[in-house]
Chains A and B, each alone.
Chain A
Amino acid sequence: MASKASPSPSASRSGSLKDASMAKADESAPVSKEIVSVIESLKRHVVDERCVSIKERMDNNRHKLASITSHLQKLSKERRNSWINFADSSLDLLKKRQDDAIGMHSGIGTSSSDKDSDSDQEDSHASTAVLLGTSIPPGKNSVRPIRLPEVKKLPPYTTWIFLDRNQRMTEDQSVVGRRRIYYAQNDGEALICSDSEEENVDEEEEKKYFLESEDYIIRMAIKEAGFSDAVINSLAECFSRKADEVKARYESLTKEEKTSVDSLNVDSEASSLNCFLEKDLEAALDSFDNLFCRRCLVFDCRLHGCSQDLVFPAEKPPPLNRPDLDNLPCGEHCYRSVSKPEKVATDDSPELGDTKDNSVQPSSGSAGTRTSVRKKHTPCARKKAKPSQSESASSIVKNMSDSSDSEIEPQHTASTSHLSPSKTKLGGNGGVSQRNSKRVAERVLSCSKKRQKVVGSDSDSVASGSVLGGDGKLSSSPHKENEDANSSSQKHAKSRSRKRELSIQNLQGEARDGISSGMVTDPPGNNSDVTLRKDDCADGNSCEMALNDNLSWKAFEKSLFEKGVEIFGRNSCLIARNLLNGLKTCVEVFQFMTQGDKRLAYQAGDAANSLGDGYSKFEHQGNNEVRRRSKFLRRRGRVRRLKYSWKSTAYHSIRKRISERKDQPCRQYNPCGCQTACGKECPCHLNGTCCEKYCGCGDGSLGVPNQRGDNYECRNMKLLLRQQRRVLLGKSDVSGWGAFLKNSVVKNEYLGEYTGELISHREADKRGKIYDRENSSFLFNLNDQAGWFVLDAYRKGDKLKFANHSPDPNCYAKVIMVAGDHRVGIFAKERINSGEELFYDYRYEPDRAPAWARKPEATGSKKEEPSHPSGRAKKLA
């Protein structure tokens, strides 16, 4: 750092060294001279080394540079040659003049006859003539100047960045605490230091870190002179640090030395698996939660910042559905195309299934039975689900129950396509936010306890269930040999069927009494290992397969799959294509999905039969544990973030302003009830807010409101919808730049938004001082309602910042609350014709207005106004 304290650099060199040594000489009289000399020599050593290293680096740099410049020289020679080859026909006047001059020079020699009147030739030291005017009119002694035609200069401006929406100032844009130096334009050189009351630049930045050189000295000095307080003290003096600091550093150094040997060995093993696949989806979602702005729908929102409050709407959009594609294979790896041949193999099963025979039939029946059961109960499930949407708690639970419904459904579609109508419906409610599930986890837990009992009793009664084969068939993959499937299906037919029955029972029971089943919330990935181990592997091959398959699914993929189920329902085509593209094929997803079902079913069965409540309880706790931890991680180290209970429903009622960090509760937003266009009486309009989604005037969407004729249009939404007028930037008729309107508008029409950086008042004061010197201000006070912010369009803004001030303006500015943010809209005060310049009243506070704004008519250029107003001028709305 260039040292300000030492104005002459030569002094600073010796200064820093000498000062220290002098000071030491005085104080360290009692300290043995030995120590001092040791330290001194070490210091010298460090300095010498530094010199050597600089020299080395300079040498390296020189070698590098030498090759660069020789290359450049070659280029410059090539240019000469190419020019000669290329353009010897065309005239190079510069070359010609050059040659003329040389010729003339040699002709004239050293006789100083051809002196030029322009140059005062009193230089006695130069014996030579000044060869001016070379050629054009030989004999004349000056070159005829070539005139450069005039080009109109632009009005001055500072380079600015276009902003289509307001931005919050980032820390590095702050001018607070920074020294700024001005130069007086008139005096040319004189430097004026900035305002004296500018707070002193923090000189803190104590050297916390010990430099390598210091470490070296500490180590060596103690090595040579021994460890004693005297040594430490003189070292501290030498570094101008505290003695205990040095001591602590020494201790840590010795420790480091010891560990460094070990660490060499350890280092190698870490860090190899940092593929994103190893990461948890939870972690990925964490950045989504923290960096994605829900209000602006962008990452890294520059207005609302990160770590926003998360609001979970109770209404969950139904999973995406593409019924038209449902029956078509999604690609060569689609589970449909794979499972077809197998279906042919067991083609007889549907017919057999139709008998609805409950007896154990190894190779048939499953589909039929299930469909019948399903047909029976799905209507009630649907009926139940619908009304429950209103109360969030129960609807969440319901959603889960629905999703469990849907778990069976793809299997149906696989074999029987006629079920697809019910599928769309059921799949529709299958999505459950993971978050919601977290919140209701406790609730679910208690529910599931009850549930388990029910299931337990149910399962016993149906234990001898009839179904088989369907599972085996569907879960069989291309890798799985048919023989395997066949042989194993025989073996585990019984257990499998029982499980299937169980889950159906489960659903029925649920439809009956409306209690949710907790097991659905368990992600298959979490419990798979446990359950698979618990199933004493009687299932043989296929089970083993399942285990392997399961292991090949990474945690990330599993969680992606879960999300996919939430979003798309149990549609492996969509999940594979949209979320696991390139990772898993549709078949693999489908397999995983069905195996997940089995596992769930196993689990339920096991839970019911052997472990009862305790087992499922354990499951849930495990899950909660994991989630709680990740939640905790997320909270730590982030900015304050409000937690909302899951009960909160409508997001508009709990909106907080940007200033919420001050814990200032916000006025609740009341949507207007206008049924038609909002006029002047609209409560929104009167309150300075912008009509929104919940207002009566719109159709409930955030899109363009219904425009049934001009009268129906809600004019109060234009700021929200960014329906601005085309504004042109041009040279003002008054001063500098001006904003012009492209097309004519009527009175009160919205023209556009005045955007800029949102800065604090403190910051605005500082900036105002700077801007005053430049005599231009782009500061805009958001009025007191906005409280904490001032809008500054100096470096970032839009074209409306160039609209000039006029006491008799044709526009006005108004601060409007738009979706929770204060924004400045510029409106037409009267009818404005196309091409007219826009003016509005900056409404400076009377005593603070710059001189040019006080004049009755703005005639002069504001940039040329010499006087500096003392106060901070800010535009007001």
Chain B
Amino acid sequence: MARIPLGCEPVIGSLVPSKKRDYRVTNRLQEGKRPLYAVVFNFIDSRYFNVFATVGGNRVTVYQCLEGGVIAVLQSYVDEDCCGLDGISEALLEFSICFVDQKDESFYTVTWACNRDGSPFVVAGGINGIIRVIDAGHEKIDKSFVGHGDSVNEIRTQPLKPSLVVSASKDESVRLWNVHTGVCILIFAGAGGHRNEVLSVDFHPSDMYRIASCGMDNTVKIWSMKEFWPSVEKSFTWTDLPSKFPTKYVQFPVFIASVHSNYVDCNRWLGDFVLSKSVDNEIVLWEPRTKDQSPGEGTVDILQKYPVPECDIWFIKFSCDFHYNAAAIGNREGKIFVWELQTSPPSLIARLSHAQSKSPIRQTAMSFDGSTILSCCEDGTIWRWDAVSSSSSSSSSQV
């Protein structure tokens, strides 16, 4: 990439922690042997602000953070897989070939959503490309979305309309679903779509039409569903079979940004700015400047950079607290960097490390007020960190 021209330099945060807040490990659980890929707090319903879900292997688990570092398991779901087929002879397998493709589910992502009644849903997806919509209020599977042609890498919920979820997949598409009626509303793919796996996707916090997606084609694409909004509205009242819904293709993004030169594995909106990270040991904050006349074109203004040492492998995702004051990201060596997002220059709140936390941290979750940070690791452990510095009372994330 070219040298950053004069006058366009980003402000780069210093790695010296400001010690505004300090965190201490208060709990650690070993969920299983398989890597945990995602952990996420429920930000949809204020009753559940202290409830979080993790996924790893074929398991989805719902936990609760209690005072004093206690974590309670509330629910656990296991995808039925074809382990039972182990005993079947090879000859039999040839006849039932459809099972051959069926690998053990390995969930990569999870998010919270709810249907129109407000019943809390856990939505998870993974290697099999099937999105599982679990009704946590009734502890049963509610729907399964079949449609993605390959593994699902991330699912996110529209905060303003939490029945809408968007999923990013290896099949190079991003799809918008309605968990209330179970329809696939839009497919963001085609002529202007991603050219390789889509790794991350996020809804704009206030502009309901906008999503940003990024992936292995090194680009971040911003899509608008403004023209397709009637479809979205229609999806809420759809009573026919979900498969009969007239799913539309959105083939052209409104903006394509080449901010990174390698896989872009996580992006999040920060207001109208975008936070994204590649495998370059940093999170980048930039502003997309779209041109209304010529969609798809525009310029990127890189504003700030948040260095994250030893974060050069892909599929490491960061998370923010409810108010986007801070972001936490783990690295390859099991350390966590907590950045104050909205100050300029950015300041590092804390660098969290523990002698036993050595495994790569795939994702972190910050609680509503940022006082609790959870990290889930490649080795199947969940770590809980609670803020200690300012006041001990804030360490409880109960609402």
Measured CB to CB, the residues of A under 8 A from B are 1-5, 7-10, 12-13, 16, 43, 46-47, 49-51, 54-55, 57-59, 61-62, 64-66, 68-69, 71-73, 75-77, 79-80, 82-83, 86-87, 91-95, 97-98, 101-102, 104-105, 110, 116, 118-120, 123, 125-134, 142-159, 161, 170, 172-173, 175, 180-181, 183, 189, 191, 203, 205, 207, 211-214, 216-217, 239-240, 731, 733, 735-736, 795-796, 859, 861, 864
Contact = CB atoms under 8 A, between A and B. Distances in A.
A869 to B, nearest CB: 21
Ranked nearest first, the 9 interchain pairs of A and B with the lowest CB-CB distance are A213-B7, A1-B1, A157-B149, A101-B72, A159-B173, A83-B118, A55-B344, A61-B271, A65-B271
Contact of B28 (A126, A153, A735): A126
B2 interface: yes
A150 B81 CA distance: 6
Per DSSP, chain B at the interface is loop
Nearest to A14: B12
A51 B193 contact: no
Contacts of A69: 205, 322-324
A75 B74 CA distance: 25
Given A65-B205, A211-B7, A2 B66 contact: no
Contacts of B11: 50-51, 54-55
B353 interface: no
B368 to A, nearest CB: 9
B73 A159 contact: no
A125 B28 CA distance: 9
B59 interface: yes
B271 A130 contact: no
Q: Which has the most chain A C-beta neighbours within 10 Å: B68, B281, B305?
A: B68
B8 interface: yes
Contact of A105 (B59, B67, B128, B136): B67
Contacts of B31: 118-119
A148 B259 contact: no
Nearest to B159: A72
A731 B94 CA distance: 15
B69 A128 contact: yes
A64 B314 contact: no
A184 to B, nearest CB: 12
B28 A240 contact: no
Given A148-B132, A151-B146, A1 B322 contact: no
Interface residues of B, number: 134
B307 A148 contact: no
Contacts of B3: 3, 16, 240
Contacts of A181: 216, 218, 262-263
26 contacts: A47-B6, A47-B9, A51-B344, A61-B273, A64-B272, A79-B162, A82-B118, A87-B119, A92-B119, A98-B64, A101-B72, A116-B73, A118-B29, A119-B31, A130-B29, A143-B75, A146-B75, A146-B77, A151-B146, A152-B146, A153-B130, A159-B169, A159-B172, A159-B173, A213-B8, A216-B7
B290 to A, nearest CB: 16
B261 A4 contact: yes
B188 to A, nearest CB: 9
Interface in B31-79: 31-32, 43-49, 51, 59-60, 62, 64, 66-79
A859 B91 CA distance: 12
A61 B273 CA distance: 8
Given A61-B272, A150-B82, 7 more contacts: A62-B271, A83-B45, A83-B117, A87-B119, A116-B73, A150-B79, A189-B313
Contacts of A191: 262-263, 279, 314
Nearest to B258: A1
B206 A92 contact: no
Given A72-B159, A153-B102, A161-B249, A8 B78 contact: no
Given A16-B3, A119-B30, A147-B80, A2 B282 contact: yes
B1 A211 contact: no
A269 to B, nearest CB: 23
Interface stretch (B137-145, B223-231, B232-240): B137-145
A61 B342 contact: yes
B344 A58 contact: yes
A161 B251 CA distance: 9
B125 to A, nearest CB: 12
B45 A170 contact: no
Contact of A77 (B46, B75, B101, B345): B46
A1 B323 CA distance: 28
Nearest to A733: B97
Contact of A80 (B45, B70, B272): B45
B330 interface: no
A151 B130 contact: yes
B120 interface: yes
Contacts of A10: 12, 14-15, 307
Contacts of B243: none
Contact of A134 (B72, B159, B172): B72
Contacts of A16: 3-4, 9
B139 A93 contact: yes
Nearest to A94: B136
Given A153-B130, A181-B262, A211-B7, A54 B303 contact: yes
A158 B27 contact: no
B231 to A, nearest CB: 17
Given A1-B259, A8-B307, A128 B27 contact: yes
Q: Which has the most chain B C-beta neighbours within 10 Å: A9, A87, A129, A154?
A: A9
Interface in B110-142: 114, 117-120, 128-130, 132, 134, 136-141
A98 B74 contact: yes
Contact of B51 (A2, A4, A98): A98
Nearest to A3: B1
Contacts of B202: none
Contact of A9 (B79, B282, B343): B282
B2 A1 contact: yes
A65 B342 contact: yes
Q: Which has the most chain B C-beta neighbours within 10 Å: A4, A126, A128?
A: A126
A126 B6 contact: no
B88 interface: no
Contacts of B45: 76, 79-80, 83
Contacts of A83: 45, 47, 117-119
Interface in B160-196: 160, 162, 169, 171-173, 187, 189-193, 195-196
Q: Which has the most chain A C-beta neighbours within 10 Å: B192, B271, B309?
A: B271
B213 interface: no
B216 A9 contact: no
Contacts of B119: 83, 87, 92
Given A61-B273, A146-B76, A9 B66 contact: no
B6 A46 contact: yes
Contacts of A216: 7
Contacts of A116: 73
A731 B129 CA distance: 16
Interface string B252-289: 00000011111100000011110000111110100100
Contacts of B92: none
A104 B8 CA distance: 56
B150 interface: yes
B120 A145 contact: no
B196 A180 contact: yes
A158 B171 CA distance: 4
Given A86-B118, A128-B26, A861-B100, A134 B128 contact: no
Contact of A126 (B9, B26, B282, B314): B26
